Chain A
């Protein structure tokens, strides 16, 4: 059966669903970010498995490596780019979470959405109340 043979792809899809569930259901922003990272990882995993060859070797021309048996180098190169972009997104999101926590003192999305004013000690000279 094709689905059993492609179990790498199926695992990537399962990881994607787990990540999406975390993003939707969890109320803690940090956990939402972890879910986002799980989704990114599942996409990377899916892509790398697409380039796999049965009995393949690393695409490095060292020694007597046969080009016909090398795995696909393009997904690996693309995913390197993807990992860097995911890292950048995570870094920026986390720094905004730090700022959010300093302003409001909570990471709970529901409470953040209800909150009209920043917490009292952070409110001095700050104009973000209407957000």
Chain B
């Protein structure tokens, strides 16, 4: 009964949505409202205003810098909430259900993962540092590092991976995205501009492109490191096993 009713409701919703789609402007048309108002200005002036060749990075970190700062705070709060619900692991080595598995992962898988993980991390460093001139950026690179540690943990177990990235390394770096972002924003105030101005008004004119580029790269590195550590900490909090969690949570 419930299934039929919800199916009916969703079919009605689908018809309504498709009706709206049928009356939308054609996709890919350069004359649609989404492509005409503010976009040409962004596309033409972004390079000289934000000194980043990748317009998306310019929009994320410069034009909409406040928005991204809030986003970075959201992911940090998500980690804080996950740790508040599940609890932080003890210092030292921890175990998860992967370590209890009666079937050890095969030699082929182990060798391949051990071979691949350094290259994945190298690729993520490239993604982070090249974020302002090619596709990529801090969030993407951080997600790649987090993904490499997820592969490593599923194959080698939590005991091994928590030895590689111990808590005393992760804990200080988890907030690095938020800290670096606020620091760079405050540097804009020190330089005589507004909060989050990368180009300081009182700096020499010849110095400004380099200043903007390096501050942008600094923010990208902070976001990448912080995002990666947040992902790894969430992973460890979710798969570790401790007896006392259920009672103290």
A residues whose Cβ falls under 8 Å from a Cβ of B: 1-3, 5-6, 8-10, 13-14, 16-17, 20-21, 24-25, 49-54, 56, 58-62, 67-68, 70, 72-77, 80-81, 83-85, 87-89, 91-92, 94-96, 98-99, 102-103, 122, 124-126
Q: Are A60 and B35 in contact (CB under 8 A)?
A: no
Known A98-B86, A103-B246; judge A84-B55 contact (CB<8 A). no
Chain A residue numbers with a CB within 8 Å of B53 are 60-62
For the A-B complex with A51-B35, A61-B55, A91-B79 known, give 17 more contacts whose Cβ atoms are closer than 8 Å: A1-B22, A9-B27, A10-B21, A17-B13, A54-B28, A58-B135, A60-B133, A60-B134, A61-B53, A61-B54, A68-B40, A73-B55, A80-B71, A81-B68, A95-B82, A99-B85, A122-B246
- Whether A87 contacts B39 in the complex (CB less than 8 A), given A13-B14, A52-B28, A99-B249, comes out as no
- Smallest CB separation, A13 vs chain B (Å): 4
B21 in contact with A52 (CB, 8 Å):
no
Interface size on B, residues (CB 8 A): 62
- CB neighbors of A among B53-79 (8 A): 53-56, 58-60, 64, 67-68, 71, 74-75, 77-79
Indicate whether B42 reaches chain A with its CB closer than 8 angstroms: yes
Which residues from chain A contact B207 at a C-beta distance below 8 Å?
none
B172 to chain A, nearest CB (A): 21
Please give, as numbers and ranges, the residues of chain B lying within 8 Å of A70 by CB-CB distance. 43, 55
> Do B74 and A54 touch across chains, with their CB atoms under 8 A apart?
no
- Considering the complex, give the chain B residue whose CB is closest to the CB of A128: B249
| A-B contact number at CB 8 A | 160
Residues in chain B near residue A56, CB distance under 8 A: 28
Q: Specify which of A9, A21, A52, A94 is in contact with B24 (CB 8 Å cutoff).
A: A9
Instruction: Say yes or no: is B168 at the interface (Cβ < 8 Å to chain A).
Output: no
B10 sits at the interface (CB 8 A) = yes
Q: Are A59 and B21 in contact (CB under 8 A)?
A: no
Is the pair A81, B75 in contact by a Cβ cutoff of 8 Å?
no
A73–B247 contact, CB under 8 A? no
